[in-house]
Amino acid sequence: MKSSNHIVLVTGATGGLGTAMCKELFQNGYRVAANYRNKSKAEEWKAKMDAEGIEVHLFEGDVTDYESVGKMVADIEASLGPIDILVNNAGITKDGRFSKMSPEDWKAVISTNLDSVFNCCRHVINGMIDRKFGRIINISSVNGQRGQFGQANYSAAKAGMHGFTKTLAMEVAKYGVTVNTISPGYIGTDMVMAVEQKYRDAIVAQIPVGRLGGTHEVAHLVSFLASDGASFITGANYSINGGQHVY
C-alpha cells in the first residue's frame, strides 16, 4: 500500500533487517529517516543505497540515551517534518548462560533493546497524539515469545517490548495511533548466514517451512503495519517464524 508521503524513522537502520525495511518503505512512498551510530559505516551504507536509487536520510543518535534521541528527533523534524511512523528496530545480543552473565552484558542488552523503545516512543508520541495519526512498530523476536538458552537478557528485553506495546496501544488508540509488535524467527541476515553451514542446517531443520525467513518478508510486514490500511490493528504481536513457534 502506497503511503501519503509519511515520514518514518527506522532505528538500527544499517543492519540487515533495517536495510530491507528502509528499501521497502521508500519503495512504498515513505520518506525514510535512517538512524545510525557508526558514521563511517552509515556513510558507506548510504552510498550503496544511493547506488540502488533508494533515498534515505541519515540521522545520528544513540537510542540508549534519552537526550541523544531527543536531539535526533528534533533534527529529523527540522529537516523533514513530523515523524508519523516509528520502527524500533535497534538491537544487540550478548549471549551467555545466566549463571555466568555479567551485569554489564545484562544492562547493555536491556538498554539497547528495551530502554531504546521508551526513549524513542517518548519523544514522538505526543506529536502523534496531537496530529491524530501515528504508527509505532516494535521489532521483537521469537525468543521473546518462547525463551532461548543463553539469552536471558535478550529474551527479557524482547518480551518486555510486547508488554510495552500492549499498554501503549490501549492508551493511544483513541487518537488514531497504533502500536504493534513483530516477532521474527530466524531470518537470513548477514549475521545468520555467517554461521557455519552445519549449524544453519540444524536451525532450518526446526522450521516447518524448511528455510530461513527473508529480510524482505519482515520488511513487507513492517510496511503493511505502517499503512493507512492497518488502522484497526493495534496491540498485536505478529509472529513471522515459518511455523517454528506457534501458539
For the annotated catalytic residues, the residue numbers are 154
Measured between its terminal Cα atoms, the distance across the chain in Å is: 29
For 19, 28, 127, 192, the CA distances from 48, given in Å and listed in that order, are 10, 19, 32, 21
Angstrom distance (rounded) from CA 124 to CA 230: 19
Query: Which residues of the chain form beta strands (DSSP E)?
Result: 7-10, 31-36, 56-60, 85-88, 134-139, 177-184, 237-240
Question: Residues 6 or more apart from 163 whose CB is under 8 A from it?
Answer: none
